[in-house]
């Protein structure tokens, strides 16, 4: 008899039939004697429709009112799921984020959870009810409705799991776990059985779309073990948890590829203190999200700074290029699209040497040129030609034996 928090995303509750399917799944756990808290997102498409409605009455809707509007999406799902559970004979009760005690700061549309007072959740669990909580939303101390931003429902689930000290937190999604690589790119990618928070964070940062980094960070902070699994089958998923000794035996946990990148190089920047700060301030003010930043040692008082960004931001980047060039007295600013980021992630890197050279060798054997390199303690990222990204991912995946090593 376990205390379990489950989270179902928008696709899993996308229509009445799917909501009934989720109810059947939840009912199964409940009948087994487990105590269940189910966190749900808005039905897929609902949030987009609401945003469309908002734009029809106002060009730039106020964030406070967007939160009032968007919070209705999850409120709809929780009541429908409660009803669906009733119709299969399971006692269930729905709670909005506010009712579930999710207290946030006042940063509308991207609020941070400040604390959780799960009294209502506990009360209804003690009554033997399945407790259904609206994900993605909370309220401020003053009673204002807030939403948590992208990936907010995962965050709700993990935060509630932390607050009620759940035995397990299950994140149901449309993939059945975290893979050693994207199976659409690397067909023989295998599902990872266990992964550490840090590895999961680096995978998220490297473009793995399974979960937002901040939910993983929250889980790490409060040591909430969670499982990413599919809502469409009963396969075990991937457990994300604190790292263990045995995890270090695996040098590389996974390979991530992020396409649709571009890089901007500012050449011949005077090598003086403060130049980089001013540069990136200007870029940030233009609303450009910078990803990797690489600067090499200076030669004859000048240096080159390169940063990567999503190709959708290239227009903005071009716009600021001129002012950047002027500001920095740089020789030239060049923008290059058609590149991809490839990362290998694994806490085993800390204790194993030769990972970088092994990675470079695999790419070299394919004749793939490395344009940029950046490393962290448990990740190595290279920038390569986008057209070669799939071949590179496959080669690196093979190189580290990810298709055969039992993961765990």
Residue-wise DSSP of 92-132: EEEE-TTTTTEEE-S-TTS--EEEE-THHHHHHHHTTPEEE
121 vs 395 by CB, closer to a second copy = 121
56 Cβ partners below 8 Å, 6+ apart?
none
Give min distance, CB of 148 to a second copy, in A.
17
75 vs 407 by CB, closer to a second copy = 75
23 vs 178 by CB, closer to a second copy = 23
Residue 223 Rama label (left phi>0; alpha psi -120 to 50; beta): left
64 touching a second copy, by CB under 8 A: yes
Tokens of 183: 């199976």
CB atoms within 10 A of CB 121: 23
79 touching a second copy, by CB under 8 A: yes
Query: Which range binds a second copy by CB under 8 A, 72-80, 150-158, 208-216, 257-265?
Result: 72-80
What does the DSSP 8-state code read for residue 388?
G
292 touching a second copy, by CB under 8 A: no
23 vs 162 by CB, closer to a second copy = 23
Phi, psi of 131, rounded to the nearest 5 degrees = -105, 120
61 vs 149 by CB, closer to a second copy = 61
Tokens of 242: 């604190």
With CB under 8 A as the contact rule, the residue among 4, 5, 37, 82 that binds a second copy is: 82
Q: Are 207 and 341 in contact (CB under 8 A)?
A: yes
d(CA 217, CA 164): 18
69 vs 276 by CB, closer to a second copy = 69
d(CA 37, CA 169): 9
Give min distance, CB of 71 to a second copy, in A.
7
State whether residue 182 is helix, strand or coil.
coil
Query: Which range binds a second copy by CB under 8 A, 13-21, 223-231, 263-271, 276-284?
Result: 13-21
58 touching a second copy, by CB under 8 A: yes
Which has the closest alpha carbon to 306: 345, 268, 344, 278? 268
Number of residues that bind a second copy (CB under 8 A): 38
82 vs 166 by CB, closer to a second copy = 82
19 Cβ partners below 8 Å, 6+ apart?
13, 43, 77, 80, 81, 84
25 touching a second copy, by CB under 8 A: no
With CB under 8 A as the contact rule, the residue among 41, 75, 173, 190 that binds a second copy is: 75
100 touching a second copy, by CB under 8 A: no
80 touching a second copy, by CB under 8 A: yes
Sheet holding 145-147, edge to edge: 113-116, 102-104, 137-139, 145-147
With CB under 8 A as the contact rule, the residue among 4, 36, 78, 171 that binds a second copy is: 78
78 vs 275 by CB, closer to a second copy = 78
Task: Identify residues 143-172 at the interface with a second copy (CB under 8 A).
Answer: 143, 145
With CB under 8 A as the contact rule, the residue among 11, 76, 193, 212 that binds a second copy is: 76
Question: Cα 82 to chain center, whole Å?
Answer: 28
Give residues in contact with a second copy (CB under 8 A).
16, 19-20, 23, 50, 53-54, 56-59, 61-62, 64-66, 68-69, 71-72, 75-76, 78-84, 86-87, 93-94, 96, 99, 120, 143, 145
């Amino acid at each position: 008899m376990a205390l379990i928090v489950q989270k179902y995303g928008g696709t899993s509750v996308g229509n009445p039939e799917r909501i009934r399917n989720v109810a059947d799944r939840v009912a199964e756990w409940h009948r087994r004697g487990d105590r269940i808290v189910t966190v749900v997102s808005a039905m897929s498409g609902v949030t987009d429709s609401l945003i469309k409605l908002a734009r029809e009455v106002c060009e730039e809707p106020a964030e406070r009112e967007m939160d009032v509007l968007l919070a209705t999406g999850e409120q709809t799902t929780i009541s429908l799921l409660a009803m669906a559970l009733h119709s299969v004979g399971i006692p269930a009760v729905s709670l909005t984020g506010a009712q579930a005690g999710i207290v946030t700061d006042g940063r509308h549309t991207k609020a941070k959870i400040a604390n959780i007072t799960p009294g209502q959740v506990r009360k209804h669990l003690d009554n033997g009810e399945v407790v259904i909580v609206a994900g993605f939303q909370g309220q401020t101390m003053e009673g204002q409705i807030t939403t948590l931003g992208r990936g907010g429902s995962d965050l709700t689930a993990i935060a509630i799991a932390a607050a009620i000290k759940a035995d397990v937190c299950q994140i149901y999604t449309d993939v059945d776990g975290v893979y050693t690589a994207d199976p659409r790119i690397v067909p023989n990618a295998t599902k990872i059985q266990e992964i550490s928070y840090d590895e999961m964070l680096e995978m998220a940062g490297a473009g793995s779309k399974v979960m937002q980094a901040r939910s993983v960070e929250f889980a790490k902070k409060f040591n909430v073990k969670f499982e990413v699994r599919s809502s469409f089958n009963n396969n075990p998923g991937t457990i994300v948890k604190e790292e263990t000794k045995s995890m270090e035996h695996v040098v590389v946990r996974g390979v991530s590829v992020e396409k649709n990148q571009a890089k901007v190089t500012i050449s011949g920047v005077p090598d003086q203190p403060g130049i980089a700060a001013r540069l990136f301030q200007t870029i940030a003010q233009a609303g450009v999200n910078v990803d990797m930043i690489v600067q090499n040692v200076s030669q004859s008082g000048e240096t080159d700074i390169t940063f990567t960004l999503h190709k959708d931001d290239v227009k903005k980047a071009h716009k600021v290029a001129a002012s950047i060039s002027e500001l920095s007295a740089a020789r030239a600013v060049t923008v290059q699209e058609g590149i991809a980021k490839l990362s290998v992630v694994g806490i085993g890197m800390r204790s194993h040497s030769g990972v970088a050279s092994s990675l470079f060798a695999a790419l070299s054997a394919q004749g793939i040129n490395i344009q940029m390199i950046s490393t962290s303690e448990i990740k190595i990222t290279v920038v390569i030609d986008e057209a070669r990204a799939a071949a590179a991912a496959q080669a690196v995946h093979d190189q580290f034996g990810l298709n055969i090593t039992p993961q765990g």
